[in-house]
Structure 1
Amino acid sequence: MKANTDGASRGNPGRGGFGIVLRNKIGDVQGVMVQNLMIRTSYMDECHGILAAAEKPWAGYNLLLCQTQSLQWML
């Protein structure tokens, strides 16, 4: 299962949120999730999106590849 995640905030810090798109191995969309967050930095919004994808029990899958455009989170 692959999760594409992105988070953003209006201002830094500011009101923000994240979105997740889940795809199977052939690229078919299996689910989506969005969530508004309180006042946070854009970095924290990115982190919450990645953590939310990892916490969900995606039926039948034991491996999750998480793709985000935030290199800062990976460092």
Structure 2
Amino acid sequence: MIDWSEAACGDGLYDLATLTLGHPEHLGDVVSGYGTDVDLDVIRAWWSLRSLRGVRWLVEHGFDPTTPGGEVDVLINQAV
């Protein structure tokens, strides 16, 4: 199945970050399948941006981003 709903030109590392967001333990496996020219700091930066955007959306729509397992937990756990 191919989902083109978010198709756009952009940084391929953004896709790797999206795939591994909240699961940094899988980053090594994903990167090894992608190739050797991967800047892990860029992926970590994309993680942060995606999580912060998620926090903003949740707050704007009346949800609590600090709920256990939510976006704030993702931000904290990926920083460790």
Which of the five TM-score ranges fits, normalised by the shorter chain? 0.3 to 0.5
> Considering only CA atoms, is the larger Rg found in Structure 1 or Structure 2?
2
TM, length-normalised to structure 2: 0.34
Q: Hey, which of these two has a bigger chunk of strand by percent?
A: 1
Q: Which has the higher contact order (CA 8 A, sep 6+)?
A: 1
Report the structure, 1 or 2, having the larger helix content.
2
